[in-house]
Amino acid sequence: MARPRLRDRIAALAAARADAGAVRVQRRVDRREGTRAVVDGRRLLNFCSNDYLGLAEHPEVRDALVAAAPLHGVGAAASAVVCGHHAIHARLEEALADWLGAQRALLFGSGYQANLGVLQALLGATAKDGEALCVQDRLNHASLIDGARLAGCALRRYPHADAEGAGRQLRASPDAPALIATDGVFSMDGDIAPLRELALLARAESALLYVDDAHGVGVLGREGAGSAAAAGLGRGDALQLVTFGKALGGQGAAVVGDAALIEHIAQHARAHVYTTAPSPALAAAMLASVAVARREQWRRAKLQALIARFRRGAGQLGLPLAESFTPIQPILLGDNAAALAASRVLEEAGIWVAAIRPPTVPQGQARLRVALSAAHGEEDIDMLLDALCLACAGAPKPIQPAHRLLAEG
């Protein structure tokens, strides 16, 4: 029997994606102008970006990047454990630890890379005390799932945001060293994990809690310290991931927590040891971004006001909105074709909102993922709501112009 050809397998998978309406299309952004983006030659109002605080083009952040390049160079030139750990990297790690109230931070090139490295280092099969256990929320980011698979540990997933379900999974393996991993803010639903309950569970079961707070840091908590701070968790309650590509407007990530844990990760995370360190110039920009995020509370206040305005208008329009009070506002349409069609109608109206489909979300839960930013204005929210009148004309309540509804409200 002839060996199946890999190219034939790839062609079959491509055909299946097309039939399911699941083909992803990479758009070309020619330039950005605040909340506007020129996409494939057309200027659109952008509601796709994770730049929640509007810091990606902040003058202080851009100036820090430009000023640092002549001093520190663009690239780090080596891994952090060889000669790639620059003074500016150390300053950024110290600032992050201070901001999040932790003992130490460790930089990574991206949040995805960090999750792979952290879970491999903490749960890897080389542990002398037997196979480790990773208990995860079913809606966790793909990098957390992949990190557990790379580690070779036992992976069990509990129903979304169900701390009792997590407890059942832990108690099923009482002799295994264990880690609970969860998103802080879930990237496609916008809801917040029950971190207080998970922290109590972790303490009771002698497990470690790891919070991927990519979408929470900068947005939630005092000075934007994230979902763990908003939940009232104290120092030592959780290991926390902060990424720079969302509210901080840059690129890269760091793991923040207990000094002994961070040192273990620095020694054993292959994704840290065997890769070039992040750009020193970009580290300088992120240091400036952290300072602005902590200082300018008005950005979080404005963002919350825009979220409230959008939810009020969407509710009056009868849109199928998920229960989220973060900048991530999903409009649940269910069908892939419906989500794609709604996204096209919005783009025709000059608005860019991504249609999110399986496997990024579960089957039957295709949606428009609206992402709000402090850089948006009230008029941008009203323009979006008016366009959604056309894009989601099948909503359960009669659609009226959003600006009229908001004025009446």
- CATH number where 338 lies: 3.90.1150.10
Residue 394 in this model has a pLDDT that exceeds 80: no
When divided into structural domains, the chain yields a total of 2
The answer to whether position 135 is within a domain reads yes
| Residue 359 shares a structural domain with residue 233 | no
pTM as predicted: 0.92
Catalytic status, residue 187: yes
| Residue 65 shares a structural domain with residue 141 | yes
- Give the torsion through C-alpha atoms of 324, 330, 333, 336, to 10 deg: -140
Residue ranges for the binding site for pyridoxal 5'-phosphate?
111-112, 187, 215, 243
| Residue 279 shares a structural domain with residue 330 | no
Residue ranges for the binding site?
24, 111-112, 141, 187, 215, 243, 360
In the set 58, 72, 246, 302, the catalytic residue is 246
Residue 130 in this model has a pLDDT that exceeds 90: no
Q: Which two tokens stand for residue 159?
A: 């129903």
| Residue 36 shares a structural domain with residue 63 | no
Buried b (16+ CB within 10 A) or exposed e, 82-96: eebbbebbeebbebb
List the domain range (segments joined by +) for residue 326. 23-53+297-408
Which of 295, 320, 353 represents a domain boundary (last residue)?
A: 295
In the set 215, 272, 302, 376, the catalytic residue is 215
| Residue 334 shares a structural domain with residue 275 | no
| Residue 117 shares a structural domain with residue 227 | yes
Residue ranges for the binding site for substrate?
24, 141, 360
Lowest mean pLDDT among 4-8, 221-225, 246-250: 4-8
pLDDT for the residue numbered 128: 58
Residue 396 in this model has a pLDDT that exceeds 60: no
Catalytic status, residue 376: no
Mean pLDDT, rounded, of the chain: 93
Q: Provide the pLDDT confidence category of residue 399 given band limits of 50, 70 and 90.
A: very low
| Residue 39 shares a structural domain with residue 65 | no
The answer to whether position 32 is within a domain reads yes
Q: Is residue 41 classed as helix, strand or coil in its secondary structure? A: coil
| Residue 364 shares a structural domain with residue 283 | no
Catalytic status, residue 79: no
In the set 143, 187, 324, 373, the catalytic residue is 187
| Residue 203 shares a structural domain with residue 280 | yes
Burial class (CB in 10 A: 0-12, 13-18, 19+), 397: exposed
Q: Kindly report the CATH number assigned to the domain that includes residue 131.
A: 3.40.640.10
